[in-house]
Chain A
């Protein structure tokens, strides 16, 4: 079992100090991580692709730039792992699916371009649930990802590879994507920090689409400071993503130490019902004590619509996915199965062979919900319900600045435990989908362990108020780590 501290468990921020101070070169740093991956990832399967040559050569050029006295970004020379649903030019882009096995991306996503411009070194692509559809990373074409805290348990999904890689010390930071909780839930299960920004904060250009009105890219890191640092780099308007916001990006790092006295945190009983795991409940209640110790106030709020968010999420995401995944037809890229020589036959054979079972299930459900006779009853109603949820959550934020919830109903479950009924797996997202449906920013931070498994707590803020979210999370993190609670 790999613990955070014995691993190369250093944060990007502390690595930046070592690099800037000349105590370590980027080549040495990247070499260490590559060695750790080679030694340890066989047991976890967190990477789909590791590129030693490319990353070492990049590290070398960054060391030269530093030696030449160039003014470098704090993230320069530091490795990052990228979830395999985000395009990196010249690297495979499989989305953990058979239908894209062998596909090499001809371009890089905007977020990757920004990180590379800051001097980061992409060391590889991480494993995930196929096309982002899953909460356990058991649906990957490349096999499941195991939890570094207990290899018989899931890492969570769909960004399981990114979460496990950070937790195991294979990379200091990683990028993931979150449609219904896919960054936050694995972050919670693996004991790391995960952020889903406000919808539109980060460009989706180069993020393979699963559900376009819900998807966002975000960082997975050891601590809140690193998450703030990374989000600052990847955020901002992008003319290539028409859903990206033109709002200015604040200096998240500078605002991190903003005082939190007087910030009010809302707690809804709907998140703390009887089905919640006891250990999770205790840790989250402990976090509320930590919040009070920091000078924040805790207030009870009501979110009675919460029980409808998960079903609404599955209507919308499957409907959107059925449309987005129609492009995988074997014609212009990816795998093609051409056995019966008709066009329709080609489509059906390619897709049936290429997609895994969960993806097929969701495409089927989405297609059904959008089909004649059912469209109004399910999809159209759910779109209206979504507007209603947004309205309700705005009302809730009239009284409080943040909403605190457990990230998941319990800690990491065992591999194979939730594969009998697809709905069992979906219930894992019960606390996370509301942020995607309403576009709110949300962060999961570790808040202790229960039965030796990490527990995560979630903070949600108003749209584009990542600053309050980060400063509160940073304060809580400090209080919890100090062991005062």
Chain B
């Protein structure tokens, strides 16, 4: 079964905060889901599909020109802002 530490590691990567109950429940659910997707292990791919495959489509590029933003001033959507700046918790500590 997926360990508690593993669940907590994944939650940290996913930026999720889980309660004790949620960790316990997600352990069980992750196991159920992993049991299910593990079926892929059984698939024996023919030789030519065993290496890295390149995509069939090529990336479409557009000309490198400035176009107007069609959506107006998106800063208006911010949950917290000062004028035209997004307000966030500090990430740089003061050097004393």
Contacts and interface: CB of A to CB of B under 8 A. Distances in A.
Interface of A: 103, 106-107, 200, 239, 242-243, 305, 307-308, 311-312, 314-315, 322, 326, 329-336, 338, 341-349, 351-352, 355, 360-361, 363-365, 367-369, 371, 377-378, 381-385, 387-388, 391, 421-423, 426
Contact of A322 (B9, B14, B77): B14
Contacts of A239: 62
A199 B65 CA distance: 28
Given A385-B43, A388-B46, A349 B17 contact: yes
Contacts of A326: 15
Nearest to B72: A106
A242 B40 contact: no
Interface string B13-47: 11111100010001001101111111111110110
Nearest to A344: B15
Interface of B: 2, 6-7, 9-11, 13-18, 22, 26, 29-30, 32-43, 45-46, 49-51, 53, 57, 59-60, 62, 70-72, 74, 76-80, 86, 88-91
A338 B80 contact: yes
Contact of A348 (B16, B80, B88, B91): B16
For the complex, would chain A's binding face be called helix, strand, loop or mixed by DSSP majority? helix
A391 B90 CA distance: 51
Contacts of A314: 33, 36-37
A422 B29 CA distance: 7
Given A243-B57, A346-B88, A363-B16, A106 B74 contact: yes
A331 B33 CA distance: 31
A364 B34 CA distance: 11
B10 A368 contact: yes
Contact of B49 (A360, A369, A388): A388
A232 B22 CA distance: 46
